[in-house]
Amino acid sequence: MPRTTKKIARPLVTGNWKMYKTGEEACQFLETLAPLLEESQVDVSLAVPYTAISLAAQKVAELNASIAIGAQNMNDASEGAFTGEVAARMLKSAGATFVILGHSERRHIFHETSDFINKKVKKALQEGLQPILCIGETGEERENGETEEILKTQLHESLQDLSKEEMKQIILAYEPVWAIGTGEVATPEMAEEAHLLCRELVASGWGKRVAKALLIQYGGSVKPENAADLLVQENINGLLVGGASLQPETFYEILQQYEGITV
Ligand code: PGA
């Protein structure tokens, strides 16, 4: 029985490869995935390691595939003496069209603050890279009833001073930290509640029209088995997939889950 939902746009499913795959491995992956996507009802993008961006972007062009290639982080400066860092301009010239910013692994392992992330968001927009801004609460914060407050603070601080026009370029990803890489996915109801809250927060800051058009992805232990129940939710417009995006077959199975859902 097809399920129905009122969706604002085609969903966007993004693979976040984290620190996996060389350029050559990325190309092999694309050769398997690209032919499967010809009739795809979802938009697809892949956030690959820096060193794979160039080769992956070239491969996508060669295969004439509609898969956007992006990065998983960047620095907020244009250039400078920042050993080991990468600038937005460099990502663009390598072939990236988007960048994940504020991922919880960046916030928690590398101690990135929302203020720093806000600077990166602004820089990415300035350079024409579309940001996927991640926000999400830890397990402890959820248990303490702080989810709403955390999402509100992270969203406002990370998107501080953005104009309506800039806000229209943003993709938001709700990623509960306790669900990332743990196999413990948020229930569709829990995720929907958080997505609705995010949309309301954006409506109060940037207006209803901007909020309605905002694409909000869910991320955290997405698998072929749970993707449909998440995608059917009214305020879930896509998925950010880590572990299950590393094998083209599994990733494709996730993309296929949207087919049973009537828009
Ligand atoms: P996961 O990662 O799907 O492996 O839980 C999601 C993410 O970190 O974006």
Beta bridge partner(s), residue 241: 15
DSSP per residue, 84-130: T---HHHHHHHT--EEEES-HHHHHTS---HHHHHHHHHHHHHTT-E
Q: Which helix (H) or strand (E) holds 162?
A: none
CATH (domain of 41): 3.20.20.70
In a domain, 142, yes or no: yes
- Count of domains in the chain? 1
Confidence of residue 261 (pLDDT cuts 50, 70, 90): low
In a domain, 186, yes or no: yes
Residue 260 confidence (pLDDT): 65
What's the pLDDT at 256?
93
Question: Which of the listed residues 72, 171, 222 should we mutate to test ligand 1's pocket, taking the one with most ligand atoms within 8 A of CB?
Answer: 222
Distances (CA, A) of 23 to 29, 81, 94: 10, 26, 12
The CA distance from 156 to 197, in Å, is 13
Contact, 143 vs 182, CB < 8 A?
no
* pLDDT tens digits along 192-244: 999 999 999 999 999 999 999 999 999 999 999 999 999 999 999 999 999 99
pLDDT exceeds cutoff 70 at 5: no
Please state the φ and ψ torsions of residue 189, each to the nearest 5 degrees.
-70, -40
Q: Is the pLDDT of residue 93 over 90?
A: yes
- Give 155-204 pLDDT, tens digit per residue: 999 999 999 999 999 999 999 999 999 999 889 999 999 999 999 999 99
Residue 111: C-alpha distances to residues 3, 104, 154 (Å): 41, 9, 14
So what's the pLDDT on residue 1?
Answer: 40
Q: What is the pLDDT of residue 259?
A: 78
Distance in Å, CA 219 to ligand 1 centroid: 6
Q: Provide the pLDDT for residue 253.
A: 96
**What pTM was estimated for this model as a whole?**
0.95
pLDDT tens readout for residues 144-157? 999 999 999 999 99
Residue 23 lies inside a defined structural domain of this protein:
yes
Judge whether 198 lies within some domain.
yes
pLDDT for residue 38: 87
pLDDT of residue 2: 47
The amino acid present at 45, given as its one-letter code, is: S
Cα separation, 103 vs 123, whole angstroms: 17
Answer whether residue 261 is part of any domain: no
Judge whether residue 3 has pLDDT over 60. Answer: no
Average pLDDT value for residue range 27-34: 98
Among the listed residues 112, 137, 141, 175, the single catalytic one is 175
Residue 227 lies in a domain: yes
Domain that holds residue 154: 12-78+86-255
Dist. CA 221 → ligand 1 center (Å): 6
In a domain, 5, yes or no: no
pLDDT, average across residues 102-115:
96
Quick check: 6 pLDDT over 90? Answer: no
Read off the pLDDT of residues 39-80 as tens digits, 9 standing for 90 and up.
888 999 999 999 999 999 999 999 999 999 999 999 999 999
Residue of the CA atom closest to atom 3 of ligand 1: 242
Question: What is the average pLDDT value for the chain, to the nearest integer?
Answer: 95
| 4: in domain | no
Least-confidence region, from 22-31, 32-41, 245-254: 32-41
The stretch 16-39 carries a mean pLDDT of 96
User: Ligand 1: residues within 6 Å at CB?
Assistant: 16, 175, 180-181, 219-222, 240-244
Q: Which residues of 108-144 are buried (b: 16+ CB within 10 A; e: fewer)?
A: eeeebebebbbbbbbbbbebebbbbbbbbbbeebbee
Residues whose CB falls within 8 Å of the CB of residue 232, separated by 6 or more in sequence, listed in order: 3, 5, 188, 261
- List the structure tokens of 56: 């992956």
Cα(59)–Cα(89) distance, integer angstroms: 20
Kindly tell me if the per-residue pLDDT of 8 is higher than 60: no
